[in-house]
Each structure stands twice: as structure tokens, then as C-alpha cells.
Amino acid sequence: MKTHAFLSVGVFVTQLVLAATQCVPQSFKDLSLPGGQILTVEAEVLTNLSANVLMPTNYYPRNITGLDVCQVLVQYTHPGQNDTLNVNIWLPLENWNGRYMATGGGGFAAGSGITQLYIPASLGYVTSFTDGGHNISTGGTAPWALVSPGNVNWVLLNDFARIAYNDMATISKSAAALFYGSPPKYSYWSGCSTGGRQGHQMAQSYPTQFDGILATSSAFNWAHFLVMEYWPTFVMNSLNIHPTPCELATLVELATTACDGLDGVIDGIIANPGLCFFDAQTVVNQTFNCSDTGEEMQISQGAATVIEALWTGPRTVDGKFQWFGLNKDASYAGISNVTCNDNGTCEASPFTIAMDWIQRFVLKNTTINLLDLSHSDWDTIFRASVDQYESVISANNPDLTDFRNHGGKMITYHGLADQLIPPNGTYNYYERVLQQDPNAADFYRFFPVPGLAHCGGGPGWYPGDAMEALVAWTEKGIVPDTLLARTTPTAETPARTIQLCAYPKVLRYVGGDINIVSSFTCE
């Protein structure tokens, strides 16, 4: 075995080659966890791994070949809590870069599985994910939400909310120190959606655990926005109006067309959704062709009324603000789930994660029918979600003092065409952070991304090199005034490249080829 120790901070281990014989449970016999009890440790060498990672979190797709890692599986419990959690760690067998990267989950899954480990491991990171104490093969909550009828499993909810990620980082760093002979010099978090919430939670609750956090399309504001995701179903059922998917999609297209040029260029993207004042009522009775059926249809009054309510976002029975709606270029195909029968009648099916949250955690009763809620019922549910769970799982505390004092750096980006989590919730949080600390941009930056859907997709740009920018900021002090991003090319359109603007600046087209960086500026 040949190793090279660090010569100074920031110098990578470039020639580290570890004998496969070290990847055995005995090498990790000294693993420990404050407040926890290690139950089992398994270790094995995985060689010549290959994966075509088409939907990685916070990276561009990559084809990985010839990857060799030591996989360590750690099972542990918190004595007295009756929980069992599992952490999967990959330690590169060669060319460890001296860093650790934790990966986050999505929905109710605490981790996204080994798919998200390939890219960071191939780049030399020690990397890991956790199951948070419950099955990660499904985003649902049925097996663990309630310990008995009417009683929330608070232990597993707190594991999922925050505790498991602190544990994972502690265990993974300890495993790296035992395997390589020295701990990581830098530790990073990477996650989107639930993974974004987890990253924000770490900055707030365990501010010294990570040096750099990339928390994107963040599902913080959990207690608010997760109920909001049921709003489309509630609106349609309460009004007894169920627009066809074609009507909703056409209204989104019409709004996008009306507000497309706000940044000075027509490119199918609403760059400044806050300035988009398209009124759906102005296109009632307009004829369009439904691409699903080939049928010629008209925009109905009901469809315009429904989508305006969805754009506005949830309100109380007397019209008071509860939470933000989606932007006007976001798709409602997933969150509204309207299906139509052969006889022409349509119905809305709730977004399953939102229904899970309301039934199992808020109401604690899976037999309650949510399809016939009154507006007063809705208001009660919304208040109960916030009152009971805001401090438990929302991860939206704007006080990042300890993370700042630790020297941590954080980057957030959020697609403005996100179809699941309202981007205005991220604007709201970042503004509150700035009110708490007017100089917060010195360590925390937010990049709105025009046209980007939830964690990826859509016609907009995608900043797949954001982690590189975070590492450069964390380790070299290179401040990310912009984030390089590109669109996904299609048969009809080439890839477009741009420098995304850090809030509060916005993109402005200055002329020239719309596919290149120099044609836009931040102002």
C-alpha cells in the first residue's frame, strides 16, 4: 500500500492506492457514534463499477466506468429509541481527493440510493447516503408514519427531519479516517428537493458538520408547501370544476407566450415571472387543438378560474394569504393529476406525497376522505400542519450565524418553472436571511434559474457545475457572482449557455446570439 499524506490544506491525495485487503469489517471496528450504538458493519470491495447516470442530483449526466470502491454498510440505533438506521459509504480505492460528500434524498426518502454515489465517488470523494431509519425503496410513508392509530412515530420523524444526516456525516468521516489514516479536509452536502431541505437543516442545526452545502430546489418550508401541493385537488373538487389536462397545459403555454419577452428575447422561457401579469380570463373561449386527442377545444371559464387559483396559491376562506402558488410557466401535469374518462368527465387525483402528509401526519387518520373538504376544513389542516411541524421539519430558520462563524459556504438554486415547490418560498427565505444578516451573501448565495423545472428538466438552463463553484468558494475564496449553466439540446434547438445571476440581480438580454453567454448580462 502506498499513501501520500496532505502537505497543506487543499492539496489533494492524488496517488492513494489502497490494498483490497483493508476493505474488511475489522478495519472499521473502532467506528463509534456519540448518542448511538453501532450494531453491524459490513465491508466489501466493489470493482469495475459502471453506470450511465442520466438523472444525477446537482450534476450533469455522466457515464461512469471502471470505478473501484470500498463499500461500507453501517447499521446502528439510538439506544432507547427503538430505531434502526443504515448508512451506505463508498470509499474510493484510489485517488481520494481528501473530501467527503453527503448525498440527500427526495420525497419521504432520506437518501436516493447508490445511483447518487457514482459521480462523487468517481471524482474522488468519500460519499454516502442514509435510509433515515425507514425504507428508501419508496417515497411513501405507510410503513413508518404512525406507531399506532392516531400516534405519530416521532422518533423516525425526527430521524428523517435532521438527526440521521448528522449521524451519517459523523460515521462517514470516521470511516474515512480509519480507512485512509486521516479524516477528510473538507466536507460537502449535495441535495435537491428533500435533499435541499436536508442541506438547509444541516446549516441550521449542525452548522459545523459541513464546510460547503449545495441545497437546491429546497423542500424547506415543508409544513407550508406540502399542504399547498394538495391545493389544486382541493380547488377543483370544491368548485366541482376539473379542467382537462389539455386546457391546463394550453393556459400555461399562453401565459408563457404572453410573458416570454420580459427579458428582451423570445425563447420560450419566463425569465422574470414576478413581472408576468397574464390574466387567464382574457383567453376564455379561445380555440386550441388538444395534442393528446387531436380534438379542437375551447378554453373554458372554469379552467381559467381554476388555474388563476393555482397561480395565486392557497388562501383562507376569507381570502388571506397562506402560501405561494407555482409560477405561470410551471406544468400542472404532476401536481393536479387530472384524468378524463371516455364519457368526457374528468377528476383530480391528489399528489400522493401531499395526501400522505395530510392524512398520516396532520390528521393522523388514513381513513379520512380528503375529496370532500370544506374551505374551513382546509384552513384547519393548513394551520395544524404549520403549528405542529414547522419547528420540527421545515428547516427555514433564517439565523445562520453559527454556520457563518464556522466559515461555511452555501449555494442554493431554484428553477423558476418548478412544478412541485413554489420558488417564491425560496425568495422569501433568502430575504429573511438577509434581514437577519445584511452581509449574508458573503457566505450564502441564491441563484434563480429561469425555465428550470423541479431539480432539472424544462426548457431552462441547468447549473450542473455548481458543486465545482462551491468547492472553489469554500477552499479558494473564489466568490460565485454567477453560475455557469446550459440547456439540454434537442433535435430542434442547440445547447444554450449562460451565466446565472445571483439574487437580487436578474438576466437581461443585450443582443446577439441567444445561445451564448455574452448575449446576456446581470443587472
In a domain, 398, yes or no: no
Q: How many Å apart are CA 321 and CA 386, to the nearest integer? A: 14
Neighbours of 370 (CB within 10 A): 18
The predicted pLDDT at position 344 comes to 78
The 10s digit of each residue's pLDDT in 393-415 is 999 999 999 999 999 999 999 99
The alpha carbon of residue 347 and the mean position of all alpha carbons in its chain are separated, in whole angstroms, by 29
Q: Is the preceding peptide bond at 61 cis, omega within 30 degrees of 0?
A: no
Q: Domain ends where: 357, 391, 425?
A: 391
Give the DSSP per-residue string, 93-153: SB---SEEEEE--BTTBS---GGGTHHHHHTT-EEEEE-TTS--S-S--TTTSEEETTEE-
Do 243 and 312 lie in a common domain? yes
In a domain, 91, yes or no: yes
Do 310 and 376 lie in a common domain? yes
pLDDT band at 123 (very low <50, low <70, confident <90, very high): very high
The 10s digit of each residue's pLDDT in 305-346 is 999 999 999 999 999 999 999 999 999 988 988 988 888 788
Q: How many Å apart are CA 70 and CA 18, to the nearest integer? A: 9
The predicted pLDDT at position 334 comes to 85
Number of domains in the chain: 2
Q: Rounded mean pLDDT of 455-460?
A: 95
Do 252 and 131 lie in a common domain? no
The 10s digit of each residue's pLDDT in 126-151 is 999 999 999 866 557 888 999 999 99
Q: Rounded mean pLDDT of 197-206?
A: 98
The alpha carbon of residue 444 and the mean position of all alpha carbons in its chain are separated, in whole angstroms, by 17
Q: Which helix (H) or strand (E) holds 333?
A: helix 333-336
Do 14 and 162 lie in a common domain? yes
pLDDT band at 491 (very low <50, low <70, confident <90, very high): confident
pLDDT band at 263 (very low <50, low <70, confident <90, very high): confident
Global model pTM greater than 0.75: yes
In a domain, 476, yes or no: no
Give the DSSP per-residue string, 409-475: EEEEEEETT-SSS-HHHHHHHHHHHHHH-TTGGGTEEEEEETT--TTS-SSS-B-TTHHHHHHHHHH
Domain that holds residue 10: 1-46+60-97+127-182
User: CA end-to-end span of the chain, whole Å?
Assistant: 54
In a domain, 326, yes or no: yes
With pLDDT > 70 as the criterion, what percentage of the chain qualifies? Answer: 95
- The grid coordinates listed for 305 are 378560474
pLDDT band at 195 (very low <50, low <70, confident <90, very high): very high
The predicted pLDDT at position 143 comes to 85
Mean model confidence pLDDT for the chain: 93
Do 236 and 178 lie in a common domain? no
The catalytic residues are: 193, 418, 454
Nearest in space to 130 (alpha carbons), one of 152, 97, 156: 156
Question: 61, 67 in Cβ contact below 8 A?
Answer: no
The predicted pLDDT at position 19 comes to 56
Answer whether residue 177 shows pLDDT above 90: yes
The predicted pLDDT at position 16 comes to 42
Do 274 and 339 lie in a common domain? yes
Please say whether the dihedral angle defined by the alpha carbons of residues 34, 389, 453 and 265, taken in this order, is positive or negative: negative
Do 283 and 373 lie in a common domain? yes
The predicted pLDDT at position 3 comes to 39
- The backbone torsions φ and ψ at residue 412, rounded to the nearest 5 degrees and listed phi first, read -120, 135
In a domain, 210, yes or no: no
Classify residue 321 as exposed, middle or buried by CB count within 10 Å of its CB (0-12, 13-18, 19+). exposed
Q: Is 311 left (phi over 0), alpha (psi -120 to 50) or beta?
A: alpha
